[in-house]
Amino acid sequence: MTTAGTTAAPLRFAPVAEPRLAALPPLAVYVHIPWCVRKCPYCDFNSHEKADALPEREYVDALLGDLESLLPSVWGRRAASVFIGGGTPSLFSPESIARLISELRARLPLEPDAEITLEANPGTAEAARFRGYRDAGVNRLSIGVQSFDDAKLAALGRIHGAREARRAIELALDSFGNVNLDLMYGLPGQALAEARVDLEQAAKSGATQVSAYQLTIEPNTVFHRRPPRLPEHDLCADMQRMAEDTLGAAGYQQYETSAFARAGFRCRHNLNYWQFGDYLGLGAGAHGKLSFAERITRHARVKAPRDYLAAARRGATLAEERVVDARELPFEFMLNALRLVEGFPEQLFAERTGLARSAIEPALGRAAALGLIERDARRVRPSARGRLFLNDLVELFLEKD
Ligand code: SF4
């Protein structure tokens, strides 16, 4: 990537003290369901083609075991959101999702208006199924549409076509007042006019949020081994601008690099990540972050579904748990918070990391001098240039040895 001129003189960091948190941040729950009908050639998520019937009961038991092992770390706290992601969680029956949500509620109090999202694939959309998820307590559905063009969907290896995509959105809106639609641009051989058609269809779909992502080639994917011909960088940048214009004109407000929502429908679960909140990670390969008065920790579960289930039988799914080094916190915080178009209130850094603002002052000064951020008395936000060179901006907060 081109740089924004950030490689000049090395930054001097003030020595970073240990964190001291005056209050704990909001808490969310992420649940990972790791199976799909078929593995998409671009996907580097922890998702696995399902062979036979899914072990739904055993897997939900394992998720609840993960939760129980974490409860002593979150006594007295309430969760503000639950996100059931994957993989393809809509492969699980409404009965399994109902059991998961009710058993989760029985162990961990949820806020009365907690946002509960489930990811669904248009290839698994049925009216009765969606109603079942709603009755189970899901109040937000996220649909992986990706494109409304049959040829592009086939190139992406998706199991659905444009008709199924439109039908899934209709069914979702029949059962849910809050529906996110995932769309991708920069697809193999995609022209600007084709991206426009996709964006226009998304904009008039009735979804409360559209998440528009650029297709990227990730290691360990089929596309990495056999790369398709993707649009050039400049064309993709034009598509991103087109997404901002098209969705903006249709009343969607961009609040994060890829997220565009109608008023009142920003994804609270994702906002909690970007505002450096806490979350429990349940399920195969799930990651979590927890804050305590004097430390911030991260945890991760055994990744491969079969190994995870075997570990769950032994009550030992934890693969990693570590205290985040205080010197990493400025970078970790900025990696999230600077994705937000509106940035963050200055005091949020101290609230969420437990570090003094002096820990980031030199890097903030450098970022402002380079025109990568804008600051006023209350907020720090990425400038238009900062959003364009987000990696360079965030790297300014990396502690160099
Ligand atoms: S459906 Fe989603 S999670 Fe599953 S393989 Fe495709 S992109 Fe990955």
Q: Which residue has the tokens 């444009």?
A: 162
8 Å CB contact between 33 and 93:
no
Separation of CA 43 and ligand 1 centre (Å): 6
On whether the CB atoms of residues 335 and 346 are closer than 8 A, the answer is no
- Is residue 281 reached through a cis peptide bond, with omega within 30 degrees of 0 on the bond before it? no
Q: Nearest-CA neighbor of 341 among 239, 253, 276? A: 253
Take atom 6 of ligand 1 and give the residue whose Cα is closest: 40
Amino acid 30: pLDDT: 98
Closest C-alpha among 295, 297, 255 to residue 279: 297
Q: Does pTM surpass 0.85? A: yes
* Cα 125 from chain centroid (whole Å): 22
Q: Are 235 and 225 in contact (CB under 8 A)?
A: no
Q: Which atom of ligand 1 is nearest to the CA of 159?
A: 1
Q: Identify the pLDDT of residue 32.
A: 98
Q: What is the pLDDT of residue 362?
A: 95
Could you read off the pLDDT tens digit of each residue along the chain, which spans 401 residues? 334 444 444 454 555 678 999 999 999 999 999 999 999 999 999 999 998 899 999 999 999 999 999 999 999 999 999 999 999 999 999 999 999 999 999 999 999 999 999 999 998 888 999 999 999 999 999 999 999 999 999 999 998 999 999 999 999 999 999 999 999 999 999 999 999 999 999 999 999 999 999 999 999 999 999 999 999 999 999 999 999 999 999 999 999 999 999 999 999 999 999 999 999 999 999 999 999 999 999 999 999 999 999 999 999 999 999 999 999 999 999 999 999 999 999 999 999 999 999 999 999 999 999 999 999 988 999 999 999 899 999 999 998 76
Q: Report the separation in Å between the CA atom of 132 and the middle of ligand 1, taken as the mean of its atom positions.
A: 22
Return the residue whose CA atom lies nearest to atom 8 of ligand 1. Answer: 43
Residue 5 has what pLDDT? 42
**Residue 275: which residues within 8 A CB-CB, separation 6 or more?**
25, 336, 337, 340, 344, 348, 352
Give me ligand 1 centre to Cα 123, in Å: 11
